[in-house]
A and B are shown apart, each in its own frame.
Chain A
């Protein structure tokens, strides 16, 4: 029979596929001790995207910052417990009025090209940041500075016009080498492709779209890092990246929840890799356009939150790898108020609240109607984020149960911003914010930030919150700040301008030949220079 040929070929491809679907046989399980710290070897890290610009001032993408984090230092940094400690600054004094910070810089720190680091570099970095000709997104914090000066080679002093709590943290920004940049156009500088910093790793090579290679800087002021080379491999597809990890081509990557839960529990995988899990500094939310009359009544917003099962979302979207968010802070940080609970899943309460707000009758499609208008709205989210897309679909389903008709629209990011968010032209959206270490949330929640292209795009205006935010950022007294932020969370939980959905977990995985990794509140990479591979296990 002639068709038979086709059938056989299809069968063959089926067999191939089935073979591909069966899991790899477990191999020997290695038992490993800590081994002895040794210099050498390399770590290969996977990334979805390539870096864009290795002058961090000009970059806005994660890969660029990851690389810059190894090449440059700031004046201060966060330690493993997320306290601010000195980095290029050995210490600092804050004046009694809190307006002046004097940094005492480390002596004898050398740039990767051998030139000594001094206060001139800090002063240059500050000046180029606030220079209107520099296309940077990070000038805002530094515009609060009234005066900056470098009284001697190892002292740097800044004075603020009024107390500014995030001031100290803002000096964690990467300090640039003035001897290579002073008097030049920073946007055309070679450093964007060949950075020179003071950090533990020096730049070696960048093959566009393939890899970025760094090598250990022997004269690093905190001591030479053990791992000799840091290789950043660009693999744009997540499935490929995971296969590459399993085949041994990668040593470290971030897992997706499903990979963590369902694909990494074989004895073979466990013997070759260590998985880590800790809450990420980010949250995902469903935000409502408060200018829209539909969402003006807070009972409606409370009802929607009550109709959403956050536990289901964490289960379905994150496979349990995350926690419910009740407000804009990360559970466990000092600003987080553990006593605040918002509206848990209770469709009965949702219907009740909606009825109180006037949404009582159902039309023939099972959708609530008020004044002849059905309760229908559109959730916008950005394309390319699988988790947000899944959230939207689950929420759509849940709201249908209480009589709200939801449409989903996925938009390309730039278009979402320009045509919808910036113009206030949306009903609701699912987006995320990163949670910065300093709890100042002026830009997102203050009523003065509701203008076009500003970040309080939902139009949240609350006098008490405004006052608390201003109070919180203008004092250095942590207890006082804490009281402000605790109260803000109570207000937000009641107002529900967002339905706070979840704080996902970071799920990094590292080859088990790397030792010295000590998970802490700051994650795992804060002590990267102390990671090592015992001599007998080194592969590169």
Chain B
């Protein structure tokens, strides 16, 4: 196990370098520069002023120098300062957004797993019945409906027409003065629609995966044996089949991680939730290189670590991996 762990840890280094290289390449495909955005269409600016801004941001240096510098600073966990006119450290900008995105997505992820797994099992055990078909349509509808359309419809219905739920944002005005319980309820009401939309959209993948897994396991010899031994159907499903069908889900959890940090630009925009998605989108549009690179690298790195953890869990749960991998 220790050998496996060390091997996996060593592997992180080239992977991480690969991540930084891809990030740097992607960002420098762009033709524009941040200085253009800042001075765009302002009649009161001269060519010297532009040059001054360029030097200030270090854009006059060759690419490999910029990459080298960036990498060196990265190794000291310094992501540089944003090109936006606030000129704040990138890490600060990310830090103030990450908790919102993470908590939102973790709630959605828990809900997704909590709903999709039973739904998948239900569909598998009721294969080819009306229930199975209904579930199929339901989860695929969630996948197929364009997020922003559904979100706007729900907002209009529950926010404007019925007036049951707040429309956007995270808190009501004046929530600072609320009691902790009321504050939580207020926030919960704000999060209800976004989380519902996010969860509905993500059910399909996992529940279909679960269904297929379960069907496969149910077709295995040892299940047939268990049935032959006269075990009840419930016992067969929950004691034997489920455990084996759930195992690969751990890996899937690892794959959900990029989404966890990514967040969705679209529903953050629609619901006015200031998360990572919005930050990233604005960064990209403004050619805020340090910010975009920072988010991509942090996002990818956290995913890398997450995947490693998922694999370790898997290895602990299934001894075959440790030796084979």
Give A contacts to B, CB under 8 Å.
2, 5-6, 9, 13, 16-17, 19-20, 24, 42, 44, 50, 52-53, 58-61, 64, 132, 135-141, 187-188, 192-193, 207-211, 231, 233-237, 239-240, 243-244, 246-247, 249, 412-415, 417-419, 422, 431, 433, 443-444, 451-455, 540
The answer to the question of B56 belonging to the interface, with a C-beta cut-off of 8 Å to chain A, is yes
Give every chain B residue within 8 A of A59 (Cβ-Cβ): 85
Q: Who on chain B is nearest to A239 by CB?
A: B152
Query: Across the interface, do A5 and B133 meet the contact criterion of CB distance under 8 Å?
Result: yes
- Which A residue's beta carbon lies closest to that of B170? A210
How far does the Cβ of A127 sit from chain B's closest Cβ, in whole Å? 16
Q: Are A137 and B45 in contact (CB under 8 A)?
A: yes
Q: Is the CB of B130 within 8 A of A210?
A: no
Is the CB–CB distance between B41 and A53 below 8 Å?
no
- Knowing A9-B138, A139-B49, A452-B47, say if A237 contacts B272 (CB, 8 Å): yes
Chain A residue with minimal CB distance to B129? A2
Show 27 A/B contacts (Cβ-Cβ < 8 Å), sorted by A. Answer: A6-B137, A13-B141, A52-B85, A61-B85, A137-B42, A137-B49, A209-B278, A210-B274, A231-B173, A236-B269, A237-B269, A237-B270, A240-B152, A244-B272, A247-B167, A249-B167, A414-B33, A414-B34, A414-B286, A414-B287, A415-B31, A418-B32, A418-B33, A422-B36, A433-B41, A452-B47, A540-B174
Residues of B within 8 Å of A451, CB to CB, are 47
Q: Is A414 a contact partner of B133 (Cβ separation < 8 A)?
A: no
| A19-B93 contact, Cβ under 8 Å, with A5-B134, A234-B272, A413-B40 | no
CB distance B47 to A453 under 8 Å? yes
Tell me if B323 is interfacial: C-beta within 8 Å of chain A. no
Looking at the complex, which one of A19, A24, A64, A443 makes contact with B44 (CB distance below 8 Å)?
A443
List 6 tightest A-B contacts by C-beta distance, closest first: A209-B274, A414-B32, A443-B43, A140-B44, A235-B272, A53-B85
- Chain B residues with CB below 8 A from A243, complex form: 152, 155-156, 159-160, 167-168
Residues of chain B within 8 A of A19, CB atoms compared: 157, 161
A501 and B76 alpha carbons, distance in the complex (Å): 53
Q: How far is the CA of A357 from the CA of B167 in the complex (A)?
A: 58
- Interface residues in B257-274 by Cβ distance below 8 A to A read 268-272, 274
Q: Which of B31, B34, B38, B156 contacts A137 (CB 8 A)?
A: B38
B97 an interface residue at 8 Å Cβ cutoff? yes
- Residues in chain A near residue B285, CB distance under 8 A: 412-413
B220 at the interface (CB under 8 A from A): no
Interchain CB contact under 8 A, B87 and A53: yes
Q: How far is the CA of A193 from the CA of B86 in the complex (A)?
A: 8
Q: Is the CB of B97 within 8 A of A419?
A: no
Q: Does B318 contact A (CB under 8 A)?
A: no
Provide the residues of chain B in CB contact with A141, threshold 8 Å: 44
Query: Is B53 an interface residue, CB under 8 A from the partner?
Result: yes
Q: 8 Å CB contacts to A: which residues of B161-191? A: 161, 163, 166-171, 173-174
Say if the beta carbon of B46 comes within 8 Å of chain A.
yes
Q: If the complex has contacts A52-B84, A64-B85, A233-B169, are A132 and B47 also in contact, measured as CB distance less than 8 A? A: no
Q: Does B39 sit within 8 A of A, measured CB to CB? A: yes
Question: B28 in the interface, Cβ–Cβ < 8 Å?
Answer: no
Is B96 a contact of A208 with CB atoms below 8 Å? yes
Contact with B168, one of A249, A412, A455 (Cβ below 8 angstroms): A249
A164 to chain B, nearest CB (A): 13
- List, in ascending order, chain B residues with CB within 8 A of A139's CB: 44, 49
B138 contacts across to A, CB distance below 8 A: 9
Query: From A422, which residue of chain B is reached at the shortest CB distance?
Result: B36
Which B residues are CB-close (under 8 A) to A231? Answer: 173
Evaluate contact between A192 and B86: CB separation under 8 angstroms: yes
| Contacts A140-B45, A235-B169; A52 near B86 (Cβ below 8 A) | yes
Residues of A within 8 A of B271 (CB): 240
- Asked whether B65 is an interface residue with its Cβ less than 8 Å from the other chain, the reply is no
Q: Please indicate the chain B residues that have their CB under 8 angstroms from the CB of A234 in the complex.
A: 272, 274
Give the contacting residue for B41; candidates A193, A208, A455; CB below 8 A: A455
- Closest Cβ of chain A to B100, distance in Å, is 9
Cβ contact within 8 Å between A240 and B36: no
When each residue 235-259 of chain B gets 1 if its CB lies under 8 Å from chain A and 0 otherwise, what string results? 0000000000000000000000000
Q: Name A442's closest neighbour in chain B (CB-CB).
A: B43
Give chain B nearest CB distance to A534 CB in angstroms. Answer: 20
List chain A residues, Cβ under 8 A from B85: 52-53, 58-61, 64
Q: How far is the CB of A441 from chain B (nearest CB, A)?
A: 9
Which residues in B have their C-beta under 8 angstroms from that of A211?
169
Does B6 sit at the interface, judged by CB under 8 A?
no
Decide if B153 is an interface residue (CB 8 Å cutoff). yes
Q: Which of under 10, 10 to 19, 20 to 34, or 35 or more describes the interface residues of B?
A: 35 or more
Q: How far is the CB of A438 from chain B (nearest CB, A)?
A: 11
A211 to B272 Cα, complex, angstroms: 10
* B308 in contact (CB, < 8 A): no
- Asked if residues B96 and A244 are in contact (CB atoms below 8 Å), the reply is no
Chain B residues with CB under 8 Å of A246's CB are 160
Is the Cβ of A137 less than 8 Å from the Cβ of B39?
yes
Q: Is B227 an interface position by the 8 A CB rule?
A: no
In whole angstroms, how far apart are the Cα atoms of A141 and B44 in the complex? 7
**Complex contacts, B41 vs chain A, CB 8 Å:** 417, 431, 433, 455
Whether a CB of chain A sits under 8 angstroms from the CB of B298 is no
Q: How far is the CA of A268 from the CA of B88 in the complex (A)?
A: 45
With a cutoff of 8 Å between Cβ atoms, the chain A residues found around residue B86 in the complex are 52-53, 192-193
Q: Do B173 and A209 have beta carbons less than 8 Å apart?
A: no
Chain B: minimal CB distance from A256 (Å): 15
Asked if residues A60 and B279 are in contact (CB atoms below 8 Å), the reply is no
In the docked arrangement, what's the CA distance between A444 and B43, Å?
Answer: 7
Residues B160 and A419 in contact, CB atoms below 8 Å apart: no
User: B160 touching A247 by the CB < 8 A rule?
Assistant: yes
Q: Within 8 Å CB of B141, what residues of A?
A: 9, 13
Q: Which residues of A are found within 8 Å of B170, using beta-carbon distances?
A: 210
Q: B128-149 CB contact bits vs A (8 Å, 1 = yes)?
A: 0010011001100100010000
The chain B residue with its CB closest to the CB of A240 is: B168
Whether A16 and B153, one on each chain, are in contact in the complex, defined by CB atoms closer than 8 angstroms, is yes
B127 at the A interface (CB under 8 A) = no
Closest A residue to B96 by CB, please name it: A208
User: B50 in the interface, Cβ–Cβ < 8 Å?
Assistant: yes
Is B122 in the interface zone, CB < 8 Å from A?
no
A137-B45, A249-B169, A417-B32 known; 13 new pairs, CB 8 Å cut-off, are: A2-B130, A132-B52, A137-B39, A137-B49, A210-B274, A231-B173, A235-B169, A235-B272, A240-B168, A243-B155, A247-B163, A414-B287, A418-B31
Judge if B19 is at the interface, Cβ distance under 8 Å: no
Minimum CB–CB distance for B294 against chain A, Å: 15
On chain B, the residues within 8 Å of A140 by CB distance are 44-46, 49
| Interface contact A138-B44, CB-CB below 8 Å | yes
Alpha-carbon distance between A443 and B44 when the two chains are bound, in angstroms: 7
Query: Does chain A have a CB within 8 A of B37?
Result: yes
Establish whether residues B38 and A60, one from each chain, have CB atoms under 8 Å apart when the complex forms.
yes
Picked from B50, B97, B160, B168, the residue with its CB within 8 Å of the CB of A235 is B168
Min Cβ gap B150→A in Å is 9
> Whole-angstrom distance between the alpha carbons of A60 and B49 in the complex?
14
Q: Is the pair B42, A24 in contact by a Cβ cutoff of 8 Å?
A: no
A34 to B168 alpha-carbon distance, docked (Å): 32
Question: What residues of chain B lie closer than 8 Å to A209, measured between beta carbons?
Answer: 97, 274-275, 278-279
Task: Find out whether the CB atom of B279 lies under 8 angstroms from the CB atom of A414.
Answer: no
A418 → chain B, closest Cβ, in Å? Answer: 5
* Contact partners of B279 in chain A: CB under 8 A: 209
Residues of A within 8 A of B159 (CB): 243-244, 247
List of A residues within 8 angstroms of B52 by Cβ:
132, 135
Q: Mark B50-75, 1 if CB is under 8 A from A, else 0.
A: 10110010000000000000000000
A208 contacts B43, C-beta separation under 8 Å:
no
- Contact partner of B39 (CB less than 8 A), chosen from A60, A64, A540, is A60
CA of A249 to CA of B272 in the docked complex: distance in angstroms? 13
Shortest Cβ distance from A249 into B: residue: B167
Cα A433 to Cα B85 with chains together (Å): 22
Contact present for A240 and B137 (CB under 8 Å): no
